[in-house]
Chains A and B, each alone.
Chain A
């Protein structure tokens, strides 16, 4: 057996007996047999976890978008209340205040509510058909702030108080703060649920990986015998877990996207009904924006990556034990 450079001679000389190379003798089997990894169970676990995570994220996105819409609507308006006081003509005060508000820079539109309209606002509490002539019902003026402009609320308050002392201005700050708190709490709860789902995924994947490694311990030992390093062995297993993670992520993420698409259709069918209107008031049109769907897809990929990462960590820990 002579060696010339990198070329190596045959280990033995078969002479005339040298066989033809059979067509079938090839490396076709994977080093880690696919069937020996608890694949289906892991795919199911990852799919369920991805679905729950995506539903949580989608719900948080919906609530946040609706809250942002409400905030934008409320923040673009101010409400001025003119209270009737003895010795003053409230109708004249309303006209004067409307004029003063219109003159204020940054105001796009002013709409004083008529006496009848103001009365209508009280109907939910006082009922209909009630004569409001004898009641000191305050009058409401709604002013819309021009988009992009900053209103000097203190100057406006001072100006209208000069023309009518019984006036008060409400810029809805308390409402906005409450809504901001509510949407913040929803997002926080969503992130908490998401973190729990991710932790549960990591634990499930770690157990599945450990189980697969235990089942394949003889393979790991043989690979060590033939000189394979931990990195090589881990990579063989990792390919399987990454594939399983992607499969689970695709199923779970796809199901969640379908669920949101379907719920959008359901919201469309119920629009105009009292229930549909309630939901629309609370959660808007129940439709995720394209960026929302992109976020769900990214989350599915993230969970697949977490699956691969968790299995890689477990693989190296288990390989240390086997050594």
Chain B
């Protein structure tokens, strides 16, 4: 589903922060992406989300060479990818419900076809009482759960999560991990970038370790 061949990335004229990355992410797979701070985890996630272009190498996503894609095709591919970012990126003028329903709204689906699903998911992540709250009054953990719900609601083919349990307590962290596992069982390939060893120890999965710009894979 995802194939990187000798991919390198540098910002501007700076040093190469990702070097010679060659790996594959098979469909339905589950992996943790880890490594020390500044190792390039977020940059790799952005490459996978097509919000960055590699400075060299080949990135093939869902069978497409991304260097050949136009803007509209990239937007179509992004509909198949869910992303949870560290800074959540919720829209402050929309309620929690509206934020989570946004991917469906962008797809042009009628609200009646997804309303129940959105509400069920919000209940599941513990935001059932906060559906009509605006993000500015949510706590950090609540925002994180809302961001996760938005990323998984449309059941993407690939889920990218950057420190998804960083702001929640261990119990809720386990619950969110269960959500990712459920999603993976339903066919979504999952990549979770995390420092949290406890989280990784809870589930046997492939580990991609970034160190000094290079990737080491532990199956």
Residue positions of B touching A, CB distance < 8 A: 49, 51, 71-72, 75-76, 78-81, 83, 85, 89-91, 93-95, 97-98, 101-103, 105-107, 111, 115-121, 123-124, 128, 131-132, 150, 152-153, 155, 179, 182-183, 185-186
Contacts and interface: CB of A to CB of B under 8 A. Distances in A.
A231 B123 CA distance: 33
Contact of B182 (A1, A25, A219, A224): A1
Contacts of B80: 227
Interface in A8-59: 8, 10-12, 14, 17-19, 21-22, 24-29, 31, 33, 36
Contacts of A10: 117, 120
A227 B76 contact: yes
B124 A227 contact: no
Interface residues of A, number: 35
Given A11-B121, A14-B120, A14-B124, A24 B98 contact: no
Nearest to A11: B121
B123 A227 contact: no
Contact of A19 (B81, B117, B123, B132): B123
Contacts of B71: 229-230, 323
B contacts with A: majority SS: helix
Contacts, number: 110
Nearest to B111: A27
Given A25-B131, A226-B102, A8 B155 contact: yes
A230 B93 contact: no
A223 interface: yes
Contacts of B182: 1, 11-12
B128 A29 contact: no
Contacts of A18: 120
Contact of A24 (B103, B116, B131): B131
Given A27-B105, A227-B79, A232-B106, A219 B121 contact: no
A168 to B, nearest CB: 76
B75 A224 contact: yes
Contacts of A157: none
B183 A230 contact: no
A269 B72 CA distance: 63
29 contacts: A1-B185, A8-B155, A10-B120, A11-B155, A11-B183, A12-B120, A14-B123, A18-B120, A19-B123, A24-B131, A25-B115, A25-B131, A26-B111, A29-B95, A31-B105, A219-B91, A223-B102, A225-B78, A225-B85, A226-B102, A227-B75, A227-B81, A227-B107, A228-B106, A229-B72, A229-B76, A230-B72, A231-B72, A232-B106
Give the 10 A-B CB pairs with smallest separation, nearest first: A227-B79, A229-B75, A1-B186, A33-B93, A227-B78, A25-B97, A226-B103, A228-B106, A25-B131, A29-B94
A25 B121 contact: no
